[in-house]
Amino acid sequence: MSNKNLNIDGYLPTDADLERWARLKKSVKTASYLTKGDEFNGQIDQIITYTKDYMHPELDKDCPEIIENAKFECMQVRQEAISDDPNSEKFNSINNNGVTSPGMILKRFTIDKEKPHIMGDVYDSNSRCIISRAVEKKYPTRRKITLTQAFVTDKDLCDWLIKNAEFFQTGANDHEPAESMSESSLKGVIRERIMRAPKDIRESDQFKARLRVVVKAMCTTKNHSTIDKWISGEYKSLEANNNGISTFNEQEHRLRTIRKAIQGTIPGFNSNGWIKDKRGNLSLKHEDYKIYGIKTSGGNVEKAFGSEDTRIGEGVDLRKSICIAYAASATTAEKITKAQKAFIDKNDSTAQTKKRNKNFDYVYVLGQEQHVDYGTLLTKADVDKKYNQMEEQNSLSNIINLEAANSK
């Protein structure tokens, strides 16, 4: 849809917003806001804080002492919970190097009756605050960790930052690898802004072009083609959802669905054997199985075949393997079924060329049709039956349409 007369300023940050945010980030990073003549001088104070100064509404809900003694509250908007896993990359980074980047806190102008002592809300450095506390807990004799914060005291600046929190907090986290937002969270920000706009706005070429500009400006460490793919994927997911299809493009939801399906399908599967990834987040790693969750497109199938061949050839990892495929780009039930059938056929033909006569020990496709097979693991027999039924229905429809045309 193309309509250049639409006003999209209320739904996405403007060029002026992005430019101002870039200047603010630079000012905070260099602490130039402390210098007269800086645009933000007089609007921000520099403060040195400690881990005891922070509380998190979810993590600390059963810890009244932490809440009572805190000065600042974490206002986390990112999807995944802040991980304080001692095996995570973030944890080790802070333990080894301390907190090297300044954060940002917004002064709280409206007093919370339940927490009147809270002075402000953490805008940037939520993860660093909580993980630093976890580091000190694990190593109680180490030197206390200090966190330098830019404390925004100007109400207009605070209001502007809150208005654009989703995108600006995305940009605030787009620096060191250990601090960057996950793909799932970034996609969630994109999805939220698409869904927030009315249909005529979000479907316009103007909005889509602006969305690409804004996300690329916020995610400077991400490849532009990757961002384009994410945005396109979210629009396809929206179309698919309207057709009763789930594309499973949202990572955490996909992982939870696959894990639940495996636990209900594989006999004797140990539900306590799951292993978190390096960041301490949900994953498909398991102590008893090598699990592949792959898209049916983009060369992912062939890559999984090769990875499993290498693993088997090395003879070190003796776990059985499970492969589960899903059609991430299909937007209708027919496209889903065709993609599932193509994967099953490719797996069968490739398996016949191997000495072990198989690619994986268990092979499934993930059901994606809501109210039909959503979230279940479909076998080759299930997919073949589903595909044949679709072909029969299509043939019948063609006959009916042909007869109708001939009767005119």
Burial class (CB in 10 A: 0-12, 13-18, 19+), 337: buried
Residue 56 φ/ψ region, left for φ over 0, alpha for ψ in the -120 to 50 degree band, beta for the rest: beta
Q: What is the DSSP string of 52-112?
A: GGEE-TTTTTT-HHHHHH-SEEE---SSSPPP--TTSHHHHHHHHH---S-EEEEE--S--
Distance CA 166, CA 172 (A): 10
The kind and range of the H/E element at 225 are: helix 224-242
Q: What is the residue-averaged pLDDT of the chain?
A: 88
Residue 181 in tokens? 């937002």
Residue 48 CA to residue 66 CA, distance in Å, equals 19
Query: Strand (E) positions, 90-218?
Result: 103-107, 120-124, 146-152
> With bands split at pLDDT 50, 70 and 90, how would you rate the model's confidence at 76?
low
Cα dihedral: 18, 210, 176, 285 (round 10): 150
CA distance 220 to 395: 50
Per-residue pLDDT tens over the stretch 261-296: 999 999 999 999 999 987 778 899 999 999 999 999
Most confident of 2-16, 140-154, 188-202, 227-241: 140-154
Give the orientation angle of helix 183-196 with respect to helix 224-242, to 10 degrees: 60
Buried b (16+ CB within 10 A) or exposed e, 3-24: eeebebeebbbeeebbebbeeb
Give 54-69 pLDDT, tens digit per residue. Answer: 999 888 889 999 999 9
- pLDDT beyond 60 at 80: no
Cα–Cα distance measured from residue 69 to residue 115, given in angstroms and rounded to the nearest whole number: 10
If pLDDT is split at 50, 70 and 90, which confidence band does 218 have?
A: confident
Residue carrying structure tokens 């600390």? 60
Q: Which residue from 185, 231, 167 is spatially nearest to 18, judged by alpha carbons?
A: 167
pLDDT tens for each residue of 98-136: 898 899 999 999 999 999 999 999 998 888 888 898 899
**Residue 379's closest CA among 327, 340, 353, 335?**
340
Percent of the chain past pLDDT 90, that is, above it, reads 58
Could you tell me whether strands 120-124 and 72-74 are parallel, antiparallel, or unpaired per DSSP bridges?
Answer: parallel
Under 8 Å between Cβ of 27 and 38: yes
d(CA 152, CA 45): 6
Q: What is the Cα–Cα distance from 226 to 234, expressed in whole angstroms?
A: 12
What percent of the chain is modeled with pLDDT above 70? Answer: 91
Complete DSSP assignment for 305-363: HHHHHHHHHHT----EEEEEEE-SS--SHHHHHHHHHHHHHHHHHHHTTSTTS-S-SEE
Decide: 80 and 128 in contact? Cβ < 8 Å: no
Lowest-confidence pick of 228-232, 256-260, 275-279, 349-353: 275-279
Q: Evaluate if pTM is beyond 0.85.
A: no
Angstrom distance (rounded) from CA 166 to CA 214: 11
From first CA to last CA, the distance across the chain in angstroms is 35
Taking only the tens place, the pLDDT of each residue in 19-68 is 999 999 999 999 999 999 999 999 999 999 999 999 998 888 899 999 99
